[in-house]
Amino acid sequence: MFTFHWFTSLAAKSYTYGLGSCKPSRQSHKNRILLPPLPLTLLALQVRWGEWHNHHYHNHHYHHHHHQEAPQDPKPNNSRSIFFNFRSEMESISVLMPIQMNKYLEQELEKRFNLLKLWNSPHKTHFLKEHSNSIRAIVGNASAGADAELIESLPNLEIVASFSVGIDKVDLNKCREKGIRVTNTPDVLTDDVADLAIGLILAVLRRLCESDRYVRSGKWKKGDYKLTTKFTGKTVGIIGMGRIGKGVAKRAEAFSCPISYYSRSEKPDLKYKYYPSVVELASNCDILVVACPLTQETRHIVNREVMNALGPKGVLINIGRGPHVDEPELVSALVEGRLGGAGLDVYENEPEVPEELFGLENVVLLPHVGSGTVETRKAMADLVINNLEAHFLKKPLLTPVVLLWVFTSDMDNIGLLMTCSMFAYLEEELQKRFKLFKLWHYPSTHDFFKHNANSIRAVVGNTKIGADAELIDSLPKLEIVASYSVGLDKIDLRKCEEKGIRVTNTPDVLTDDVADIAIGLMLAVLRKICVCDGFVRSGSWKSGDFGLTSKLSRKSVGIVGLGRIGTAIAKRAQAFGCPISYYSRTHKPHTNYKYYTNIIDLAANSEILVISCALTEQTHHIVNRGVIDALGPKGILINIGRGLHVDEPELVSALMEGRLGGAGFDVFEKEPEVPEQLFELDNVVLLPHVGSDTVETSKAMADLVIQNLEAFFLGKPLLTPVV
């Protein structure tokens, strides 16, 4: 009995409903611990300590001395009956839901109120007329709220609680006129919508969905996927610097993106550059994110002029509302190439989506799932219920909406061997400087080496074909191997050291892109971005909403290998509020991340495990069955390292059997072969080894290869020496 009452009082405090005469908490709702709505028993008990104590004592005394009559109170204790009286009153309050939303929300409302589900009625007008006098509350969302006509038809309506942040489906003027209170669900969905904005940017620039389809269709076996565009360092312009806009800015800053914004007025507390017009903002950014509320002034705020200012290399991201964008103009700009790409979660006439977009690979289309994670939808539902209960208990609303009106010639003779086709720019620049041999152009390598071996002084390789012992031994004049990659597992380093051959690679320049793709994979797996894109393109959205997904924000991220790339991933993940831990050969004293001495412990304490270490004999199959089982059926495995880091058959069986929650892979054991069992799974995202494959980074890597070669043959220090 004591435990029950203690929990009751604690729970009531957690909701900032004071006990007895205690004042309500002034703490902002976003800093509170919002517990799930408790049974009305706990919320309605408003008793003073003395009354509670007496009540507890009498019950305790009676149960231990049941042969005696329970003592009588000297005077009536009305507090004992508060709950019973109020519960019956609450259950008689009719709450109208215009459309089906969230199952948990429906269930919790039905426990507390007389819930009227308008969508279940075949004759909606008659239904509303029949129940109009009893309806005191409406629960709407971003699709169906409360327009003037509905409000006018409900004479006893007191409150509209929106299961959304956006309230453009609620006639605020009419509510103000009639003294109807309005609430929404801010803050709880900020992280998810901001996460999805970054996910859309990465999906558009890095072609995540198209790459996934490329692997699943078997096309990778016929050739590599084309280069994409990097995200890190791009200028991001944000329309609307509210909670979500700031959330997007915070995350984009972790990708070293300069931030600028447009809003109705400049925000003096922000360090970001402010533009007084959307056209100026669009002219000065690479990516334009729409994150403002929908009002008469912001309808079609992104028009033809704004799109032309953003230009043929610009990307538009809309996680606001569909009518923010002039959709016919967007379609024509994308089809005509006047706009570089778009990532859309919202549309003008949902679930109708312009079919002209379905054939474009530079767009990613999601079925309005910005806040569509299990965690956030539950938190939103809890907030709706808490607001309704607060209203009918005559307590302060948690989230009220304020209703206002609204180099030398000698080089030419140096023989340089490229082991395989890589990047056109690199080939062209090497051909300008050296005597370039392209090994893939020679059907007989034996004949090639017989005639050219003594003229080759340098080799340029990559992650596919580098310089093994056989190749090195066949080139007696070889002096340097320059790898067009960070990874060196395709180069026999011992043989190079033995023969005094210098080795270089391309670190740092690809760090950002690989770290970006790691975050992109996390978001694509958890938020099912590629599946959502297919859902919209197939027309399935018209038949019903897409299922809920899982959020990234605040998920614990474990990183295997805290080198340049691992550190960059950690930086980005921290911007999503993710706790970071890691495993590496040694503890890194300069970081404040939690260190685990073995990978099993790391996996057991992570929700997302990212592989970003170098491939060595020790790290071959570092992710085995034990690690996968430690990560568990809710865990996500991300591999942007090397395919051989993961025991692929064990991975496949774990995914098929449900022992692993999901996976995002850019690398595989026998590229371009990918286990076909994965193609049918919607909890995996498969990329064709495109981690560093952006135009910008590929050029920077090529330049570094060339600069290392020039430095070596000019007798200068190497920029990035390995051996």
**Catalytic machinery residues:** 321, 350, 368
Task: Give how far Cα 629 sits from Cα of 388, 394, 639, 648, 686, Å.
Answer: 43, 50, 16, 14, 21
**What is the rounded distance in angstroms from the CA atom of residue 479 to the CA atom of residue 501?**
5
Q: Quick one: DSSP state of residue 294?
A: P
Closest CA to 52 of 11, 90, 1: 1
Tokens of 338: 């006047």
**Other CB atoms within 10 A of residue 55 CB:** 18
Contact 589, 579 (CB under 8 A): no
- Which one-letter amino acid corresponds to residue 299? R
Cβ-contact 597, 610 below 8 angstroms:
no
Beta strands 662-665 and 114-117: pairing type?
Answer: unpaired
d(C-alpha 609, C-alpha 627), whole Å: 10
For tokens 């903002």, the residue is 281
Residue 98 burial class via C-beta count within 10 angstroms: exposed 0-12, middle 13-18, buried 19 and up: buried
3-class secondary structure, 521 = helix
Q: Which DSSP symbol is given to 673? A: B
- Name 656's Cβ contacts closer than 8 Å, sequence gap at least 6: 677, 681
What does the alpha-carbon distance between residue 581 and residue 583 come to, in Å, rounded to a whole number? 7
**Spatial separation of the C-alpha atoms in residues 686 and 674, rounded to whole Å:** 9
Distance, CA of 71 to CA of 77 (rounded, Å)? 13
Radius of gyration of the chain (CA): 31
Say if residues 244 and 255 touch (Cβ distance below 8 Å): no
